[in-house]
Amino acid sequence: VNQRANLIVGHAHELVTCRGPSTGVRGEFALNQLETIADGAVAVVGHEIVAVGSTDRVLADWHAEEYVDARGRLLSPGFVDPHSHLLFSGARYAEYEARVTERARPGIDSGIRYSVNRTRSASDQELVDQAIADLDRMLAHGTTTLEAKTGYGLDASSELRLLRLTAGLRHAIEIAPTFLALHVPPASLSGGRQRFIDQIIEALPEASRFAEYCDVTADPIGFTPDECLQVGEKARALGMRIRVHADQTGDGDGARVAAQLRASGADHLDFTSDQGFRLMAEAGTVATLLPGVTYHMCEMTSRIREGNLVEAEKPFMPLVAKRAIRAGGIVALSTDYNPGTSPTPSMQAVMQLAARLYRLSYAEIWHMCTLNSAVALDRGHDRGSLEVGKRADLLLWNVATHGMAINRFGYNMVDRVWIAGREACRSGATIGRLVM
Ligand SMILES: [Zn+2]
């Protein structure tokens, strides 16, 4: 029987499936088993993968309307990026130079509040145009599904505005919109902290119309466990699933909060305890690590203060990653794309940083950027790996092996991207915007 497929990509030098349980790949042993197929092929009908295997076997069963020759190249699943702050205005390069040189630059507007002021005063069109340009860059680097959270509004009505704009974006990349209900406390809390929490809770029914997720920040510079639980429980009751910014600047009990809320993911986790990682593993909450932040903020680098060397400000992240894995948790990776602490749109950069900064293996990194990050977005059943029945999100690379994609760094190695069976990007250009 020779059936007709819409698309076959065949004769790939190496096909990496990233196959695993739809609930995620856990444990050191399983994370280090990465399935690869030499001379591999994928057949697609409509938006779905119908065959994966050696090219001989796939071509014995299928013929294609469109055949793409992948000789000499790597074929992989698309990346799922489970943490971004997509909508914002204003660049933060001036404060960044002051940070890396340790030279105070008085008068520079900086921090989240700078981004909040710029974002609030930007027009809807400016925010959307910038987001589309960023989505094009993410796509060119291989991202096919993206979580996008608000967060630069801070007060309830500004956050709802960003959420509506996010939910209204149209792009080849599928976007999971998140209402970042609790990010950092606003500068002026007229009426006090509880009044602020109450206002956020009042906005949740409206937010639940547009958002898949509600996000809360359980961190010493964010909100208390009790405040996060108040908001998170209400959001859950409205049908939203939960994400948590946890333990970034200290142990804010964020991992426990995430587990208690049965969060889909908890992210950062620099200061999470072993007990916290265990609770998350038991709850099925994905632990998402963000090496772009570690790198950009120089968090593992010693500093010079008044002529003296001072220790790095954060724990040694290779050890944190190991503890998360050994607790039995589902570990994922993400860009945390945002203007302040991780201005990279590229999951390739994240892979490359995860090896260099977190000392993870190639196999671990591939699982963490595909299937495990799909689980962080509750999509492990239909994407994140090249398997029959899954969405045909494919990357065709300019390198031959999955190891080369991590060993090399500093340039874009993805050549072609298909999302749900349709070609979305070729040679860095989004299809459909080629002639503009
Ligand atoms: Zn974030």
**Residue spans of alpha helices (H) in 190-316:** 192-208, 225-237, 254-260, 274-283, 291-296
- Cα(245) to centroid of ligand 1, in Å? 6
- Cα(178) to centroid of ligand 1, in Å? 11
- Cα(429) to centroid of ligand 1, in Å? 27
Q: What angle do CA 407, 411, 415 make, to 5 degrees?
A: 95
- Cα(267) to centroid of ligand 1, in Å? 8
- Residues of 400-431 as b/e, b for ≥16 C-beta within 10 angstroms? bbbbebbeeeeebbbbbbbbbbbbbbeeeebb
- Cα(306) to centroid of ligand 1, in Å? 32
Which pLDDT belongs to residue 207? 98
With a CB cutoff of 8 Å and minimum separation 6, the contacts of 256 are: 225, 275, 276, 279
The segments of the chain whose pLDDT lies below 50 read 434-436
- Describe the crossing of helices 192-208 and 225-237 by its angle, rounded to 10 degrees: 20
- Cα(35) to centroid of ligand 1, in Å? 31
Q: How many CB atoms lie within 10 A of CB 312?
A: 14
- Cα(388) to centroid of ligand 1, in Å? 33
pTM score of the predicted model: 0.97
Three-class DSSP category at 44: strand
Q: How many CB atoms lie within 10 A of CB 120?
A: 16
Structure-block tokens of residue 304: 């010079």
182-220 tens-digit pLDDT = 999 887 777 889 999 999 999 999 999 999 999 999 999
- Cα(269) to centroid of ligand 1, in Å? 12
- Cα(14) to centroid of ligand 1, in Å? 34
Structure-block tokens of residue 135: 């989505």
- Cα(286) to centroid of ligand 1, in Å? 15
Which pLDDT belongs to residue 436? 37
Q: How many CB atoms lie within 10 A of CB 270?
A: 21
- Cα(248) to centroid of ligand 1, in Å? 10
- Cα(109) to centroid of ligand 1, in Å? 20
CB 341 within 8 A of CB 298: no
Which pLDDT belongs to residue 102? 83
- Cα(216) to centroid of ligand 1, in Å? 10
- Cα(311) to centroid of ligand 1, in Å? 25
Nearest to 327 by CA among 275, 285, 376, 365: 275
- Cα(85) to centroid of ligand 1, in Å? 6
Structure-block tokens of residue 286: 């994905």
- How far apart, in whole angstroms, are the C-alpha atoms of residue 41 and residue 30? 24
- Residues of 127-161 as b/e, b for ≥16 C-beta within 10 angstroms? bbeebeebbbbbbbbbbbbbbbbbbbbbebebbbb
- Cα(392) to centroid of ligand 1, in Å? 28
CB 331 within 8 A of CB 321: yes
- How far apart, in whole angstroms, are the C-alpha atoms of residue 146 and residue 348? 14
- Cα(336) to centroid of ligand 1, in Å? 6
CB 246 within 8 A of CB 267: yes
Structure-block tokens of residue 68: 């793409």
- Cα(415) to centroid of ligand 1, in Å? 29
CB 88 within 8 A of CB 131: no
- Cα(83) to centroid of ligand 1, in Å? 6
107-161 tens-digit pLDDT = 777 888 889 999 999 999 999 999 999 999 999 999 999 999 999 998 999 999 9
- Cα(271) to centroid of ligand 1, in Å? 16
- How far apart, in whole angstroms, are the C-alpha atoms of residue 181 and residue 349? 28
- Cα(39) to centroid of ligand 1, in Å? 39
- Cα(338) to centroid of ligand 1, in Å? 7
CA atoms within 13 A on the CB side of 422: 9
